[in-house]
Amino acid sequence: MKLGKTQHIVYDVVMSALAVFAAVLVLFDCTGSLSEWVRTVSMAIYALFAADLAVRTAAAPDKRRFFKINFWDAVAVLPIHGILPPLPDPRADTFLNVLNLIRIVAFLSRPLRKAQRFYNTNGFKYVVFATFMTIITGGVLIHYAEGMDFGDGIWWAFVTATTVGYGDISPSTLYGRLIAMVLMLVGIGLIGSLTSTLTSFFMNRQHKKPADAVIETVKAQLDRFDELSDDDIEQLCKVLKALRTKGVKERR
């Protein structure tokens, strides 16, 4: 069953929100602080994403291209804890944490793809990626510099970069404070970049011509090209030809 434009928007928003929520759950899972019922909710979300991936795969005319585009969606639903045997080695915790961080990236890739036009404005996607990597790196470094638990280190790095700074955890060593300074500067840069990006994004939308709005719709369709039917592609070709014809007439 094909979704209408409004239904497709609702679907994208809901699935993207669930992806962000799942990424947060994976982050807390690194600390082992998830209760049983929250873990059950987490597994239900994974099952939903797996079913969604299966349906979209079945509907995709080119399966190989579909998996190439949606590789991270497949990584996100891998049952890591279910397929890995118990690892007694203490280093196993670090290994599992790395796998969980990969899953976080996989879950976040979905909303990032859906909002790519916003993230492409002013190169904002590079700022977001650099900030995310700085927070992860800061969490790992503070773990060694201050002897914090890994999960506490990630939490501290996040609240420091967002300039919230609850004060429940604070560094006491020179290296820890230097890490905090870098995170705060990165966080301030992110806020400034977000403000300018929002301004540019909405200003550009207000000054678009009617034809630009049609082109944006076509781009949105092309973003999910692997899900389009032959009729959809033929319709897009007709729209593009009509736009080209109109543009030629206006230049005469």
* Residues 59, 20 within the same domain: yes
Question: Would you say the pTM of this structure is higher than 0.85?
Answer: no
Final residue belonging to a domain, choices 70, 88, 114? 114
pLDDT by residue (tens digit) across 214-227?
666 677 667 666 66
* Residues 107, 122 within the same domain: no
* Residues 81, 174 within the same domain: no
Assign 178 a pLDDT band (cuts: 50, 70, 90).
very high
Question: Which pairs from 217-226 meet CB under 8 Å and 24+ separation?
Answer: 219/117, 223/113, 223/116, 226/60, 226/61, 226/62, 226/65, 226/66, 226/69, 226/70
* Residues 250, 152 within the same domain: no
Final residue belonging to a domain, choices 114, 141, 164? 114
Mean residue pLDDT across the chain: 74
pLDDT by residue (tens digit) across 69-84?
777 777 777 765 544 4
Predicted local confidence at residue 98, as pLDDT: 65
* Residues 4, 71 within the same domain: yes
Cα separations in angstroms, 125 against 81, 129, 139, 197, 217 = 31, 6, 21, 10, 21
Region 24-45 average pLDDT: 72
* Residues 58, 135 within the same domain: no
* Residues 1, 110 within the same domain: yes
| Three-state DSSP string of the chain | CCCCHHHHHHHHHHHHHHHHHHHHHHHHHCCCCCCHHHHHHHHHHHHHHHHHHHHHHHHCCCHHHHHHHCHHHHHHCCCHHHHCCCCCCCHHHHHHHHHHHHHHHHHHHHHHHHCHHHHHHHHHHHHHHHHHHHHHHHHHHHHHHHCCCHHHHHHHHHHHHCCCCCCCCCCCCHHHHHHHHHHHHHHHHHHHHHHHHHHHHHHHHHCCCHHHHHHHHHHHHHHCHHHCCHHHHHHHHHHHHHHHHHHHHHHC
* Residues 167, 228 within the same domain: no
157 compared with 2, residue with greater pLDDT: 157
* Residues 110, 8 within the same domain: yes
* Residues 3, 51 within the same domain: yes
CATH number, domain of 155, equals 1.10.287.70
Final residue belonging to a domain, choices 98, 114, 130? 114
Domain that includes residue 3, residue range: 1-114
**Number of domains forming the structure of the chain:** 3
* Residues 108, 10 within the same domain: yes
* Residues 10, 71 within the same domain: yes
pLDDT by residue (tens digit) across 19-31?
778 777 776 766 6
User: Whose CA is closest to 171, among 160, 161, 187, 163?
Assistant: 160
Q: How many CB atoms lie within 10 A of CB 187?
A: 22
Region 49-54 average pLDDT: 85
How far is C-alpha 179 from the chain's CA centre? 25
